[in-house]
Amino acid sequence: MTPALPRTVRAVDTAQLLALAQEAAMHGFSQRLPVGWLQEHLAVEATHYLFPTLVHRLTHRPEVPLQWRCQQLLTVSTGEQIWGLLDVLPGTFDKLPETLDTASKKDVVSRIERTTTVREWMERMAADAGS
C-alpha cells in the first residue's frame, strides 16, 4: 500500500538537508541537487523547508523505492530564498520533527509559490559574475 502524502511542511537545518540530498543521491532519485552544490551555495546557519507534493514511483525502475517529491524552499549564502525539488523517502520524511504551526506552514507554501527557482538564481548569479 502506498503511504498517504502528508499535507505538511517540515523545517530542516543545512546539515539535515545535506543528509537528505545524500540519501537521494544514494538511491538515484531524479529530483535532487548535487550535495557539493548545496554545500557551496546554502547558508550554513539557515532553516530550509520541505513540502511534499507528489507520490513518485518509478515503474520502469522497480529497484528504486517510492519517494515523495517535495518542493523545497532553500536559503542560499546571499540570504535569498530559492525554490527547488527534492525526492525523499516517506520513512525519512516522517522522522523529521513537526515544528511549524499552521500559519508558518501556510507562509512557507506562499513563499514557495512566488520565489525564484534554483535555475533562475543560478542563471542570474552567472550573469552577475560575467558583468
| pLDDT (tens digit per residue) in 55-98 | 877 677 777 678 999 999 999 999 999 999 999 999 999 999 99
Extents of the domains making up the chain: 10-130
Q: What is residue 60's three-state secondary structure? A: coil
Taking the C-alpha atoms of residue 105 and residue 111, their distance in angstroms, rounded to an integer, is 10
- Among the listed residues 127, 26, 24, the one whose alpha carbon sits nearest the alpha carbon of residue 69: 24
Query: Quick one: pLDDT at residue 30?
Result: 82
Q: Is the pTM of this model over 0.85?
A: yes
Query: Quick one: pLDDT at residue 1?
Result: 61
DSSP state of 96: S
- At 96, which amino acid appears? L
Q: Is it the case that residue 18 has pLDDT exceeding 80?
A: yes
Q: Is it the case that residue 24 has pLDDT exceeding 90?
A: yes
For the segment 26-50, the average pLDDT, to the nearest whole number, is 93
Strands (E), the chain: 10-13, 47-56, 67-75, 81-88, 116-117
